[in-house]
Amino acid sequence: MTIRSLLIANRGEIAVRIIRAAKALGIRTVQVHSAADSDMLAVKLADEAIDIGPPSAAKSYLKIEAVIAAAKQSGVDAIHPGYGFLSENAAFAQAVEDAGMIFVGPKPEAISLLGDKVEARKVAKRAGVPTVPGSDGRVDSVEIAREIVGKIGFPVMIKAAAGGGGRGIRIAETMEDFERHFPQASAEALAAFGDGGLYIEKVITRARHVEVQILGDGENAVHCFERECSLQRRRQKVWEEAPSHLLPENVRAALCASAVALAREVNYRGAGTVEYLYDEVSGEFYFIEVNTRIQVEHPVTEMITGIDLVAEMIRIAGGEKLSVRQEDIKVHGHAIECRINAEDPSKGFLPGPGTVEKLVVPEGEGIRFDTMLYEGYTVPPFYDSLLGKLIVWAETREACLERLQNALRGLKIKGLPTTVPLHLALAGDPLVAKADFHTRFLESWLETDFPAALAALEEAA
């Protein structure tokens, strides 16, 4: 079935991104929005907009019946969930299908299977993908957990079986830590995801977070190489690159092949990401999880491969086969993405929603800014603080870093605080220049190096 009309069940920059991809395909777009988002850019760009509820996400963007009612009212063929909100909700995907429409993403069964991290580990093992040492399934009690920890040793990570985004996770260095954190993690997971189930993984002390972009049409699957996402704060990605600069070629080949094997194991449909930890010391990589949706950081993959991942998702959902073969997908150059948030990095990343008084977007070869902003727009306080993503491409990583610094200096968002100073400091850091970092690097760097780097930037300005 060819998709002629599409409802976007999301907001912010990803809604804008989906609308632009759909329009390029000649597809009519319908944007749902909360009462707080009636003037957002996606509403202005879409062919039609429908108010689905109050500012609270729970009463609008997360309300399945409201989204389905809007889709029926507008007569669309399909719904694109973007990322976050209902994007990995199997019940929503099923409700879309039950209403006679197309869910732009994997089948509900695949979302359910891969969305449960414990079940996803089992799928990975069946596909021959190495997993982090840990529990074979959910751990229901501290007593059982003690036995597992005794075998794998400290430090360990206690993780929510459902959900993501860094919630329901604790790191324990000792048994005392473990017994204190276990019930806390379960309670947080229950509150965030409605599921308090936990599992345990060994902590890899100096790990790099590397993920592989996959595309599948339900029969065939390909990879679009990997991204490096090791620069994280509170387990939230801050800066992403493609490809991973220091990954050996033999590891890259094995990593990407394992992601495709996993996708084929479940007859994957749509775009997805298989996430791994790479242990620099041993040279081994381990499966973490699958994200059954488009990722925030997808643009860096698009920049190095030339593949429009969002358009490909829509085509596949409409019944088309993959438009690319594995042998045709090549890496060209290097790309870096900086997440620009409405936060003040000098004040502990205090959120600062407000009105955009002036917006200047850098232009030029290899520069892209995916955003929801326009001058006069008031950023509401109800949602994630992401304002946009500055993506820069160049032939080499060194040239990419230089271009990124120039682009960051050229990006002006007046009226509210942003994380641009953080990214300028990172782009000029000697260890970042050498790609000498890991998943714990950024939080330590923020305490030791960032204050001086920020002061130097302010003095130079």
Burial (CB count <10 Å: 0-12, 13-18, 19+), residue 292:
buried
Catalytic residue among 28, 170, 293, 315: 293
CA distances from 256 to 115, 214, 275, 343, 372 (A): 20, 9, 11, 35, 32
Token reading at 196: 């308090």
**Residue 178 to residue 184: CA distance in whole angstroms:** 10
Task: Supply angle C-alpha 256, 273, 6, rounded to 5.
Answer: 135
Question: What is the enclosing helix (H) or strand (E) of 28?
Answer: strand 28-34
Helices marked H in 2-89 — which ranges? 12-24, 41-45, 64-74
Longest CA pairwise span in the chain (Å): 59
Task: Supply angle C-alpha 27, 31, 36, rounded to 5.
Answer: 165
Pairing status of strand 386-394 against strand 367-371: antiparallel
Pairing status of strand 350-351 against strand 358-360: unpaired
* 368 flagged as catalytic: no
- The residue written with tokens 């698009």 in the block is 302
Q: 72: Cβ–Cβ under 8 A, 6 or more apart, which residues?
A: 99
Token reading at 190: 């229950």
Q: Catalytic amino acids?
A: 293
